[in-house]
Chain A
Amino acid sequence: MVRDTLTGSRIRERRMIAGMRQADLARSVGISASYLNLIEHNRRRIGGKLLMDIASALSVEPSMLTEGAEAALIASLREAAADATNVQAETDRADEFAGRFPGWAGVLAQMHRRVGSLERTVETLSDRLTHDPHLASSLHEVLTTAAAIRSMAAILAEPGDIEPEWRDRFHRNIHQDAERLADSSKALVNYLDESETDDDHRGVPLEQVEAYFSGQSYHFPAIEAGEDAASVALDGLDSSAARAIAKKMLDGYAADARALPLQAFAAELGEGDIDPLHLASRFGVDFATVLRRLATLPEELLPGAAGLVVCDASGSILFRKAVPGFALPRHGESCPLWPLFTALNRPLVPIRRRVAQLGRTAAEFDCFAIAWPQAMAEFDRDPIYRSIMLILPVDSADQGRVAAQQVGSSCRICPKSGCSARREPSILSEGF
């Protein structure tokens, strides 16, 4: 994007620095908020008197808006400043800094991106080490064998003679352990190599099912057209457990599709904010059905991507549909502050929370959640609840308008200090 097409971005940047709402700025210069929104997203060109008025309202020189430093660079600088701890950067002078020292500003922005990339790597590796029993077991085997070899070799390397019986025994043991170490190292390398491929899911049925649904974009046109769920091919699901889980989920999908027919449901969505409670009332279905249905609609019917998480009463994650910017740990161990878990404490109460997940982006999401009891086949049994949470990204223009609850992904990679919900120390507080 060429520089002069970024005037809108600079206006938005300066407005946010000034802490001014879009509607207030629009009113002060005599235009509608929606028109200003188009300008700020560089969809309308701006110049002349309106530019002068906006510059005046923002207390900046017009040239600051038309010739300012690259907006993306300033945005990166602001992100870096927001992520910094114990340092108060002069964010209101970010564009001045970028304008006067573009090289240094570029270096800082590049370093910030690099840190973000490394954090993602740490997150991935930490996640694997924590949740991958095969990997943990293999590493344990390697370290234990190495400990034995090291100890015995050190004894043999000591000056002076040791009894022949001990010497022979250690020689024999070292040979055995060296063979074992070679085998376990080779197995570990093979395992890591194989895991690099995207289609490797280590035989965990839930992950296979998630990969299958993801491969179908979470949408099944045949079922929408009225075909039986059993007719859907379960390609790639090679375990009976994965096929059983997928079949049950497809049956649920079909039931949801019957309760909320695609055409009628899409027509009711409209173009404004999504209100799942209104949709539930409008179609006479329960809240959880609406949340599931929204998450499996074709993306073009929604303003943006929609994420979904389902868990049981133990907090174990039963299903995940990821949404960019909201990290969903594998195999549970999620942040207990998620509305998903709040709902478990308040069964049958629909919950809506705006949340920001601490970390790289701090993007905001509207989360809708509810816990509902599973169908019971017998009288006088304790209800067994499940909880569901729909995750909708908040439009960038709306972010910061209402207070967002800070949540994490999992404790190990969450930087939040003084959190009463913390289960274990964060590795991010130890210098990562």
Chain B
Amino acid sequence: MSRKVLLIEDEPNITEAIRFLLTREGWHVETHAEGSDAFELIMASRPDLLILDVMLPGKSGMDILRELREQEDTRKLPVLMLTARGQLRDREMAEKAGVSRFMTKPFSNTEVVTAVRDLHAQASKA
């Protein structure tokens, strides 16, 4: 059974590129572009890994992450957060909210793929 990653990102061309990269890595990639109903979708989809943009329409990725960490089922879900805001306070806020990895745009493909591999490996060991 293939591993499932859920990518929540409102920029379609970033979504396309990441979908291509991770599909090639053997992941089953599901995508979504809205923040408002993202939490419900995550709970229904049960991905092995979540890639989450910070600035999403409807609800911020930071709020979605906080909600996830309050749930027993998703407390340890690996979350890779993508953002164009790379300031220290944004990073600290994400870490406080329980992010697994924080990545600023523009990122390289290698960074994304390596982060996904690392996070999945860590989660598998735990």
**Interface contact tally, CB-CB below 8 A:** 64
Contact A425 B84 (CB under 8 A): no
Q: Taking A155-B20, A170-B17 as contacts, is the C-beta distance between A146 and B106 under 8 angstroms? A: yes
With a cutoff of 8 Å between Cβ atoms, the chain B residues found around residue A2 in the complex are: none
- Whether B117 sits at the interface, judged by CB under 8 Å, is no
Query: Could you mark each residue 94-126 of chain B with 1 if its beta carbon is under 8 Å from any beta carbon of chain A, else 0?
Result: 000000000001111100100000000000000
- Residues of A bordering B, CB below 8 Å: 136, 139-140, 143-152, 154-155, 166, 169-170, 173, 176-177, 424-425, 427, 430
CB distance B89 to A151 under 8 Å? no
Smallest CB separation, A181 vs chain B (Å): 11
The answer to whether B17 and A424 touch across the interface, beta carbons within 8 angstroms, is no
The distance in angstroms between the C-alpha atoms of A169 and B17, with both chains bound, is 10
Contacts of B14 in A (CB 8 A): 144, 147-148, 151
Mostly, the B contact residues are helix
* A424 & B106 in contact (Cβ 8 Å cutoff): no
B84, A144: Cβ atoms closer than 8 Å: yes
**Would A139 and B84 count as touching, CB distance under 8 A?**
yes
Taking A143-B84, A152-B13, A155-B20 as given, write out 11 further A-B residue pairs in contact, using a Cβ cutoff of 8 Å, ordered by the A residue number.
A144-B11, A147-B11, A147-B84, A147-B105, A151-B21, A151-B106, A151-B108, A152-B16, A169-B16, A170-B16, A173-B13
Q: Is B88 an interface residue (CB 8 A)?
A: yes
- What residues on A are CB-neighbors of B11 within 8 Å? 144-145, 147-148
In the assembled complex, the Cα of A144 lies from the Cα of B83 at a distance in Å of 8
A-B contacts, 13 of them at CB < 8 A, read: A136-B85, A143-B106, A147-B14, A147-B105, A151-B17, A151-B109, A151-B112, A152-B13, A155-B17, A155-B21, A166-B20, A425-B89, A427-B88
Which of A143, A154, A425 is the one whose CB lies under 8 Å from B109? A154
- Chain A residues lying within 8 Å of B106, measured Cβ to Cβ, are 143, 146-147, 149-151
CA distance A148 to B92 in the complex (A): 25
The CA-CA distance from A288 to B44 in the complex, in Å, is 58
| CB-contact partner of B84 in A140, A149, A427, under 8 A | A140
Please give, as numbers and ranges, the residues of chain B lying within 8 Å of A143 by CB-CB distance.
Answer: 84, 105-106
State the CA gap A150–B92 with chains docked (Å). 26
* Complex Cα–Cα for A424 and B82 (A): 21
Most interface-central of A147, A155, A430 (chain B CB within 10 A): A147
Q: Which residue from chain A places its CB closest to the CB of B86 in the assembled complex? A: A143
The distance in angstroms between the C-alpha atoms of A149 and B20, with both chains bound, is 14
Determine whether B55 belongs to the interface, using a CB cutoff of 8 Å to chain A.
yes
Q: Is B18 an interface position by the 8 A CB rule?
A: yes
Is B13 in contact with A430, judged by CB distance below 8 angstroms? Answer: no
Smallest CB-CB A-B distances: 3 pairs: A147-B105, A147-B106, A151-B17
**Closest beta carbon of chain B to A333's beta carbon, Å:** 12
B108: chain A residues within 8 A (beta carbon): 150-151, 154
CA A136 to CA B55, docked complex, whole Å:
12
Residue from B17, B88, B92 having most chain A Cβ neighbours under 10 A: B17
Distance, CA A143 to CA B21, complexed state (A): 20
A145 to B85, CA, bound (A): 14
Say whether A425 contacts B88, CB under 8 Å: yes
Q: Which residues of B contact A151 (CB under 8 A)?
A: 14, 17-18, 21, 106-109, 112
Give CA–CA (A4, B14) in the complex, Å: 70
With A154-B108, A425-B89, A425-B92: A148-B17 Cβ-Cβ less than 8 Å: yes
Nearest chain A CB to B60 CB, angstrom units: 13
A-chain residues with CB within 8 Å of residue B16 when the two chains form the complex: 152, 169-170, 173
Across-interface contacts of A146 in B (CB, < 8 A): 105-106
Q: In the complex, which of the residues B13, B55, B89, B105 has the most CB atoms of chain A within 10 Å of its own CB atom?
A: B13
Q: Which of B1-32 contact A (CB under 8 A)?
A: 11, 13-14, 16-18, 20-21
- In the assembled complex, the CB of B73 is this many whole angstroms from the nearest CB of chain A, namely 31
Nearest CB of A to B7, in Å: 12
